[in-house]
Structure 1
């Protein structure tokens, strides 16, 4: 009996710490498989695979990115890749698909950041620092806590709109017990700005032939 309870306890800890990563990695594998098939196999089947699972994969990846769990892909490359894979056609760009990609990006990242915000608010910084999936060092976290103390709530929006600082104010905001609704609005606004300039950059990259997937 004790052994069974111990096994269940270990499974529960694993699910809490790594369950979301396992699910997201599985979906990401489908997308990667589609890209590989396009270059070395059946292009039509590959594109169908990406179009079928692409937005679901994108949503999960952005949830991970918002929760600071995205270890297998650079966040700044997700939207440009999604536009190239899902919204770029030989005749031009599908603006409705680009708009849908932006909605998925903002909603997914905001959900992820909100989850991390609530964990920080309820569990505290020391609890997070002990978790194996939280890979922000104590010294780096302390630096961003100083940013939040100095600049206050607007720093959440500004940091989310910039490279290299995205999401770094999430935990300080949670520890400081910032209002949840205010955090969600500022987080989403910052993400929208960030993903918008990435989308514009991707548009010009594809328009002038710097990048080409399909």
Structure 2
């Protein structure tokens, strides 16, 4: 029983790490890890969804924090984002507002979470909307995997 527990914990930590990395600006893919674990029945689906959602939300918080500190690098020659790009992203976020964080699950969502930090979105609003979006994505993914594999 101890070996099973250790294997499950290691698997869940791997899922957390993959989901965390996928939410940052790093090129990670958590869906493959999630799907493999669901198909191998590593842990109950609700636990996979919980761990992946928390990891993915935590990764988005890293983006938010980076966004909060980006202003000090604005205009530096080595900074990878131009003044124009920052201004355009800010205008887009102001136009669509806080609710655009519900798109944080999408491939371009990482940029939205950074801009939310740049524009000083209140942290609690950020956390609620991003957690809803990320959890919804993993629930939809779990359902799709179950339907495709015939276990739904």
What TM-score does the superposition give when structure 2 sets the normalisation length? 0.78
Larger radius of gyration: 1
| Contact 1:50-1:86 within 8 A present in 2 as well | no
Q: 2:104 aligns with which of 131, 138, 160?
A: 160
Q: Secondary structure at the residue paired with 1:124?
A: helix
Deviation of 1:142 (Å): 6.1
Q: Which residue of 2 aligns with 1:86?
A: 41
User: Greater relative contact order (Cα 8 A, min sep 6): structure 1 or 2?
Assistant: 2
Q: Which residue of 2 aligns with 1:31?
A: none
Q: Which residue of 1 aligns with 2:12?
A: 55
Change in Cα spacing, 1:86 to 1:112, as seen in structure 2 (3 Å) is: same
Deviation of 1:143 (Å): 5.6
More off after superposition, 73-82 vs 170-179: 73-82
- Alpha-carbon RMSD: 3.0
Q: Which residue of 2 aligns with 1:178?
A: 121
**Residues 128-174 of structure 1: per-residue CA shift (max 9 Å, x gap):** x957xxxx8658766644431210000011x1243x22322011100
Corresponding residue pairs, total? 145
Mapped partners of 1:125, 1:85: distance in 2: 46
Q: Does 1:150 align with 2:88?
A: no
